[in-house]
Amino acid sequence: MPHPTDNVWEVLSTARSIRRFTDEPVDSATLDRCLQAATWAPNGANAQLWRFIVLDGPEQRAAVAQAAQIALQSIESIYGMTRPAPEDDSRSARNNRATYELHDRAGEFTSVLFVAYKNEFSSEFLQGGSIYPALQNFYLAARAQGLGACITSWASYGGEQALREAVGIPDEWFLAGHVVVGWPRGKHGPVRRRPLSDVVFRNHWDPERADITYGRGARPRGK
């Protein structure tokens, strides 16, 4: 059920990845507010070397579905995931079911591809600092309006070429991110994250807490 909020702290603390959506389409006005928020993001020299591509046409959704299945093969290998048995009601099984549902239904939803222009002055990783804030703005604006969203890896792996061809993206633009958006079937947040004591250092590097096996980790976001 949609739960919009103007409380920025509630937005930040409940904007978890949503992987289950209703069949209700996202109206243009609501989606445009998310896109407008994306354009307000900070970026280097205010050059705005970004473009946001809404994917809601039949050919584009088919390419998204293809990219999702390609990504799923890698995700299963990386995280050792398999489809859970029907009788398994553990937390990991519930999470995995949501992940599989998102991939299985990928072609049914509206999504947005975030692309950035390649320049000769910096790496794609460094340029990401001028587009990832836009993706985050979009994500948080979706949550504020009661939408659900999930940042995916589908524009990576072998799915990148399928998306490039379906949209006609030139080589001089790199695919920086992809987010699925829709009306959630379920609730937002609260998010589960490590405590500050695990991740914040004061003035000096802490080798013990820097160990990625230290403490209790959160589930990887945005598969």
69-102 per-position pLDDT tens digit: 999 999 999 989 999 999 999 999 999 999 999 9
156-167 per-position pLDDT tens digit: 989 999 999 999
CA distance 105 to 146: 20
The answer to whether 109 and 26 are in contact (CB under 8 A) is: no
Residue 214, pLDDT > 60, answer: no
Distances (CA, A) of 88 to 43, 85, 96: 45, 5, 11
Overall average pLDDT of the 140-145 stretch: 98
Residue 222, pLDDT > 50, answer: no
The answer to whether 141 and 85 are in contact (CB under 8 A) is: no
Residue 149, pLDDT > 60, answer: yes
Domain 8-210: CATH class, spelled out = alpha beta
Confidence at residue 122, expressed as pLDDT on a 0 to 100 scale: 81
Domain ranges of the chain: 8-210
To 10 degrees, what angle do helices 159-167 and 58-79 make?
170
Work out whether the CA dihedral 43, 177, 186, 196 comes out positive or negative: negative
CA distance 197 to 206: 11
Q: pTM of the full predicted structure?
A: 0.92
CA distance 223 to 101: 12
Residue 223, pLDDT > 80, answer: no
106-133 per-position pLDDT tens digit: 999 999 999 999 988 888 888 899 999 9
Of 210, 216, 221, 191, give the one whose Cα is nearest residue 79. 221
